[in-house]
Structure 1
Amino acid sequence: MGLKAQITEDMKTAMRAKDAGRLGAIRLITAAIKQKEVDERVELDDVQVQAVIEKMIKQRKDSITQFEAGGRQDLADIEKAELAVLSAYMPAALSDDEVKAEVDAAVAATGAAGPQDMGKVMGILKGKLAGRADMTAVSALVKAALTKA
């Protein structure tokens, strides 16, 4: 079953269970997917759906930080609940050691010699690690690996 079909089934299940919080989060996902499909006039595949969800996760994390800084724990809790639902649709995250191993392998594969080769290394890693690792952290690891090389 595709990811979009799974999301639709989960929405039906949440409706039957009268789980308003989960239902709201799933509806946000379907709305974002449909918006992207309408904007680009394409049918999204699982990888593209994961990219949409990944963007939504990043937005939720940013919102949580802002709400907590502003003393609005009630809104931060809502965002955390949505984040939990969104995270369920992403593949299992890689550990720090696994990400470091992927970075080292990509640096070796490209023969990167310095910071000027960061684009080559990130190009390889983006395809492998998208949705499974925080790309900001990956970028920092690549930069550190290339500056000491």
Structure 2
Amino acid sequence: MALLDKLSEDLKTAMKSGDKVRVETVRLLRGQLKDFRINQQHEPSAEEEVGVLVSAAKKRREAIEAYTKAGRQDLAEKEAAELAVISEYLPKGLTQEEIVAIIAAAIKEVGATGAGEVGKVMGKIMS
């Protein structure tokens, strides 16, 4: 299921349950994806969809920080609630253990022995 379709279904569910924060956030995300589609004149790829979500999450984090510094805890909490909704649609990141395992495997495969071979290891990891 495409992200836009999932957001549409989730919007219906949120409207039925009366979850105002979720309704507002999902509507905003749908709008941003539709804007992207109109501006780029093509359907967004999965990576581009994630980019839109990451951008929305980043804006919320920055707003939370700004509102907290300004002493507006009520607005910071609203942004945090929106960030929680956005985070549900973002792909899950790797854990620290998974990252260490990937790096260790790349070091072993490349046969790196020192800091001078970081480029080789990074090349292997990124491929």
TM-score (norm 1): 0.69
Deviation at 1:11, TM superposition (A): 0.7
Bigger radius of gyration: 2
Query: Which residue matches 1:147?
Result: none
User: Structure 1 residues 91, 108: CA separation in 2 closer, same or farther (over 3 Å shift)?
Assistant: same
Identity of aligned residues (%): 32
Residue 18 of structure 2 aligns with an amino acid whose one-letter code is K
User: Structure 1 residues 62, 105: CA separation in 2 closer, same or farther (over 3 Å shift)?
Assistant: farther
Q: Name segments (4+ residues, structure 1) moved above 4 Å.
A: 103-112
Structure 2 counterparts to residues 38-77 of structure 1, below 5 A: 38-77=38-77
Give the unaligned 5+ runs of structure 2: none
Give the unaligned 5+ runs of structure 1: 126-149
Deviation at 1:104, TM superposition (A): 4.9
Query: Which residue matches 2:92?
Result: 92
Between the aligned partners of 1:106 and 1:58, the Cα distance in structure 2 is 30
Query: Which residue matches 1:129?
Result: none
User: RMSD value over aligned CA atoms?
Assistant: 2.7
Residue 40 of structure 2 aligns with an amino acid whose one-letter code is E
Between the aligned partners of 1:99 and 1:84, the Cα distance in structure 2 is 24
Deviation at 1:44, TM superposition (A): 1.1
Between the aligned partners of 1:69 and 1:85, the Cα distance in structure 2 is 23
Between the aligned partners of 1:79 and 1:53, the Cα distance in structure 2 is 14
